[in-house]
Amino acid sequence: GAGVSQSPSNKVTEKGKDVELRCDPISGHTALYWYRQSLGQGLEFLIYFQGNSAPDKSGLPSDRFSAERTGGSVSTLTIQRTQQEDSAVYLCASSLVGGRDFYNEQFFGPGTRLTVL
């Protein structure tokens, strides 16, 4: 079946502009995650949605970052007033959770490479 998809694949923007990154999770997956991966670095957790629960926003680096998930499916990560240090690959992942026997395999999307000039 279809995997996690993200759009755009690449985004170049000017400092100070707002950007929106989109993630389409695997159908039926209740959990959705956003990560940031700077060049040569690890995966930095940003935000996590699980069903109808309040999102875990503990990883968002500043109030310029926000995310929403509409209808329990598609998610949009918004970065306002972009800065050069926001340049990174933004990865989305989804997983099927629930019950003691479900392990937490996260399926990643291809990422959006954001470049802030």
Partner 1 sequence: GENVEQHPSTLSVQEGDSAVIKCTYSDSASNYFPWYKQELGKRPQLIIDIRSNVGEKKDQRIAVTLNKTAKHFSLHITETQPEDSAVYFCAASNWSNDYKLSFGAGTTVTVRA
For residues 36 and 60, give the distance between their C-alpha atoms in angstroms, rounded to a whole number: 10
| Bridge-based pairing state of the strands 31-37 and 44-50 | antiparallel
Q: What is the CA radius of gyration of the chain?
A: 14
Applying CB under 8 A, which of residues 23, 109, 112, 114 lies at the interface with partner 1? 109
Nearer to partner 1, 17 or 115 (CB): 115
- Residues between 51 and 90 with contacts to partner 1, criterion CB under 8 A: 56, 58
Is 45 near partner 1 (CB under 8 A)? yes
Please name which of 45, 72, 42 lies closest in space to residue 56, comparing C-alpha atoms: 45
Which residues of this chain interact with partner 1, rule CB under 8 A?
31, 33, 35, 41-43, 45, 48, 50, 56, 58, 91, 95, 97, 100, 103-106, 108-111
